[in-house]
Structure 1
Amino acid sequence: MVLKEFIDDYACVFSILACIFLTVTYVASLYIWKSTYSRDHPTTIKRRFFSVTCMMIVAPFISQYFWTEETLRKGDLWEHMGLKYSGIIQATLLPLFVTAVLFLGPLTMQFLSGTLKIYAEPMYWVASWQDLVWVRNHVMAPLSEEWVFRSCMVPLLLQCLEPSTAVFIGPMLFGIAHFHHMFEQIKSGQGVKTALLISSFQFMYTSMFGVYSAYLFVRTGHFMAPLIAHMFCNHMGFPNFGEISQFPPTQRLIIICNFLIGFALWCILLVPATNPDIYYNRLHWDT
């Protein structure tokens, strides 16, 4: 009890330290296995699946231990972590729609190239679920990252920060966590300078996505909202602007316009589509 009271007195310090600890242990869990295999080898992927699953089980208890009495009074463990029934349909569909609007340009490229048709093929999904790299990128990575970096960390940050501030602070740790890919790139034969440039770019866009994901979480109060958005973004990948030049001039103009329209519509729709009232959210965003 004395330790708990001490933690409550210095809630902000311990909240930040707990978030750093969760970040370090999440990344460390990927490297506890001594192996010469690459990150895409089935053995490596399976071992890391086990590691992050263990991390997902432990992380909520670590997070809850550092919650203050005030946080505990506001709601139970599952509510704080975004696991609730009220508003779940809205949290599944609306953030996905808004995110898809942002990718209007890339989706237009897929439509014009005929790539969208493949999603209607059952064998595409069968083959995808049999591909461990696909499962890692589209399912396990978003699931574990959103659980640890959003559901477990954001409630800690909200103990001492305003929601509008917390959505910017937490994602910095999320972006830093992706720097571990740099060592794997060097190990695979890439130069240090090239690996650093690639990792710096990854840090930039993963931090930006982290802000968006954290925003969805605190606005909707649902774990499902950032999870679905994360899965969709991982599937789409970072837009390849270089591919635009491969289309005929008229289609090229349509694609560029849709990139701009998509971004403009996303800016317009983001706030009203994530109105906390739609999701019955009174826990993470009170304004």
Structure 2
Amino acid sequence: MTTPAVPGAAAVAACAAMAVSYVAVLYAPTVLLRLPPPASLRVFLHRRFACAAVASAASALATAALLRVWNLGDFSDMLAVFGIRKDHLLEAAVIPLLLTSLVYAGSFVARLWVLVSSWGGDGNEVGIGCAHRIAYRIQAAVEDVMVWRNYVVAPCTEELVFRACMIPLLLCGGFKMYNIIFFTPVFFSLAHLNHLFELHQQGRNFMRSLLIVGIQLGYTVIFGWYAAFLFIRTGNLLSPIVAHIVCNMMGLPVFSSPRTRGVASVAFLAGSISFFWLLFPATSPKLYNTRLDRCSCWHGYCRWE
């Protein structure tokens, strides 16, 4: 069933409004609701989790209204507009995970090198101690509110708003896919400008804060290109979410490490070359969709009128 096209200007305006509202709503508890300042980091982040959920739900409802997804009839088709699908879940999770990990080959080598260098004594004792450390870290991670922020709430809500909501709107607004891939990260990066305000509130020097935020914006732009590319190619929201989690866990890739005697640099170079070599084959829409109807994007968005 066809869905009415959205005027290009309206699609851009809606995306800009979503980006602004995603950040603005984070300050609603203290600015609008006049709640007292949070007593702890846990309370502060719990408030932000609730705000992010509200902003994400509002963006999804606005997108559904603009695209009139209820005309699709079937509820699964409505969710599929946002890339929320139950088919091809294994491919959507595993392939982007492995593909994204290639960029961090140097990081893996550097961490493994440190781990191996720290081993000593009886092998069984090392294995038991390692198992205890892993169990302890898992338990600590489950109880750590920052872990939930970085690896659950932020990836899920940001990918829902900045990929699952914005990209269908822009596709229906008549924008070409390659323009959307390079255009949507602008909204994603602008949504991180609030970090400059927060760093300034913490007493950081303005120029130092500007440098930190500038590096973050550059990194988010590059990641935004990749996440938008994944979403458009796979048609599954799970793919950019998995990539987002991996990038949050690993941080900036390790290019070199003096401890590894150049091994990390070789691994990074090999991983990067493999990443770009496999980028298009590993994200071929044929791997993530049963049929394409001779269309280069999922669900035939490029043929919507």
TM above 0.5: yes
Alignment of 1:267 onto 2:267? no
Identify if the C-alpha distance between structure 1 residues 82 and 36 changes in structure 2 by more than 3 Å, giving closer, same or farther: same
CA distance in 2, matches of 1:234, 1:147: 16
| One-letter amino acid of the counterpart of residue 96, structure 2 | P
Structure 1 unmatched ranges of 5 or more: 1-7
Q: CA deviation at 1:33?
A: 2.1
Percent pairwise identity? 30
The counterpart of 2:154, out of the listed 124, 133, 141, is 141
Q: CA deviation at 1:64?
A: 1.8
CA distance in 2, matches of 1:153, 1:176: 14
Q: CA deviation at 1:76?
A: 3.4
| One-letter amino acid of the counterpart of residue 135, structure 1 | W
Does the CA-based 8 Å contact 1:99-1:266 persist in structure 2? yes
Q: CA deviation at 1:77?
A: 2.3
Q: Secondary structure at the match of 1:84?
A: coil
Alignment of 1:81 onto 2:97? no
Identify if the C-alpha distance between structure 1 residues 37 and 63 changes in structure 2 by more than 3 Å, giving closer, same or farther: same
Q: Which residue matches 1:63?
A: 63
CA distance in 1, matches of 2:244, 2:97: 9
Does the CA-based 8 Å contact 2:6-2:67 persist in structure 1? no
| One-letter amino acid of the counterpart of residue 106, structure 2 | G
Q: Secondary structure at the match of 1:30?
A: helix
> Which aligned pairs between 1:113-132 and structure 2 lie closer than 5 A?
113-114=114-115, 121-132=134-145
Deviations 1:241-277 (A, max 9, x none): 5x712x0xxx221111011001000000110000000
| One-letter amino acid of the counterpart of residue 22, structure 2 | Y
> Which aligned pairs between 1:213-252 and structure 2 lie closer than 5 A?
213-241=227-255, 244-245=257-258, 247=259, 251-252=260-261
Identify if the C-alpha distance between structure 1 residues 199 and 119 changes in structure 2 by more than 3 Å, giving closer, same or farther: farther
CA distance in 2, matches of 1:118, 1:104: 24
Does the CA-based 8 Å contact 2:155-2:241 persist in structure 1? yes
Q: CA deviation at 1:112?
A: 0.8
Alignment of 1:279 onto 2:280? no
Does the CA-based 8 Å contact 1:30-1:52 persist in structure 2? yes
| One-letter amino acid of the counterpart of residue 105, structure 1 | G
Q: CA deviation at 1:95?
A: 0.6
CA distance in 2, matches of 1:218, 1:130: 35
> Which aligned pairs between 1:152-191 and structure 2 lie closer than 5 A?
152-159=165-172, 160-191=174-205
Identify if the C-alpha distance between structure 1 residues 284 and 255 changes in structure 2 by more than 3 Å, giving closer, same or farther: farther
CA distance in 2, matches of 1:124, 1:284: 44
Mean CA deviation greater in 124-133 or 59-68 = 59-68
CA distance in 1, matches of 2:243, 2:222: 13
Q: Which has the larger radius of gyration?
A: 2
| One-letter amino acid of the counterpart of residue 165, structure 1 | N
Does the CA-based 8 Å contact 2:254-2:264 persist in structure 1? no
| One-letter amino acid of the counterpart of residue 262, structure 2 | L
Q: Which residue matches 1:105?
A: 106
Q: Which residue matches 2:124?
A: none
CA distance in 2, matches of 1:33, 1:221: 35
Identify if the C-alpha distance between structure 1 residues 285 and 274 changes in structure 2 by more than 3 Å, giving closer, same or farther: farther
| One-letter amino acid of the counterpart of residue 41, structure 1 | L
CA distance in 1, matches of 2:151, 2:131: 17
TM-score scaled by structure 2? 0.82
Does the CA-based 8 Å contact 1:143-1:227 persist in structure 2? yes
